[in-house]
Amino acid sequence: MSLTTEATPSAAVAEPTKTWYEEFYAALDGKDISVLDRLCTPDTRVQFANHEPCEGRAAVREVMLHFWSTIERMQHQFTNVFEVDDQALLEADVTYTRLDGSSVVIKAGTVIRRRDGLVADQHIYIDLTPLTHRASSPETQPSGEGEPA
C-alpha cells in the first residue's frame, strides 16, 4: 500500500469547510439577521459586557439591528479559539467601520455555549468605548484623512 501527498484536481479546488463559528460570525459580519433563525436556539441569550442579557430570538434581533444601525460594518479576525464539547472561548480582533468611514480595531472575547449544535448563550467581553469616542490616531481617521499630503 503506497501513500501519496499529491493533491488530486478535485482536492486542489475544494474550498475548506467553515467551522460553525466562522459561519456564524461571517453572517454577523455581513449583517445577516437570518443567522438567528438558522444557528441560534429559540431561547438564545446574549450579554454584552456589563449590560443586562437579552433572551430569545426577537430580543436579540432587536439589539443586533440597533447595534448594526450605528456602524457601517464589522469584521472579526480570530486570534484564539478554545473549544470543549459544546462550549467555546473565542478571542478576536474586531475591526469596526463607523458610519463616517473611519475604523477602529477592538479586542474581544466571547464565551459561547451551544445546545444541539445551535448557539444557546453568548457572553461578549468587549469595551466599545473606542468605537464611540474617537482618538486622533491615523487608524481611526476616515479614508484619506490623516495621511501626508
Domains of the chain: 18-140 (3.10.450.50)
One-letter amino acid of 147: E
∠ Cα 44 45 50 (to 5°): 165
Model pTM? 0.78
In angstroms, the CA 44 to CA 115 distance is 10
Closest CA to 62 of 80, 36, 81: 36
β-strands 40-48, 54-55 pairing: antiparallel
Q: Residues 7-63: pLDDT tens digits?
A: 444 455 556 778 999 999 999 999 999 999 999 999 999 999 889 999 999 999 999
Q: Which tops the pLDDT comparison, 143 or 27?
A: 27
∠ Cα 76 60 107 (to 5°): 25
Kindly report the backbone phi and psi dihedral angles of residue 82, in degrees, each rounded to the nearest multiple of 5, phi listed first: -125, 125
Kindly report the backbone phi and psi dihedral angles of residue 11, in degrees, each rounded to the nearest multiple of 5, phi listed first: -70, -30
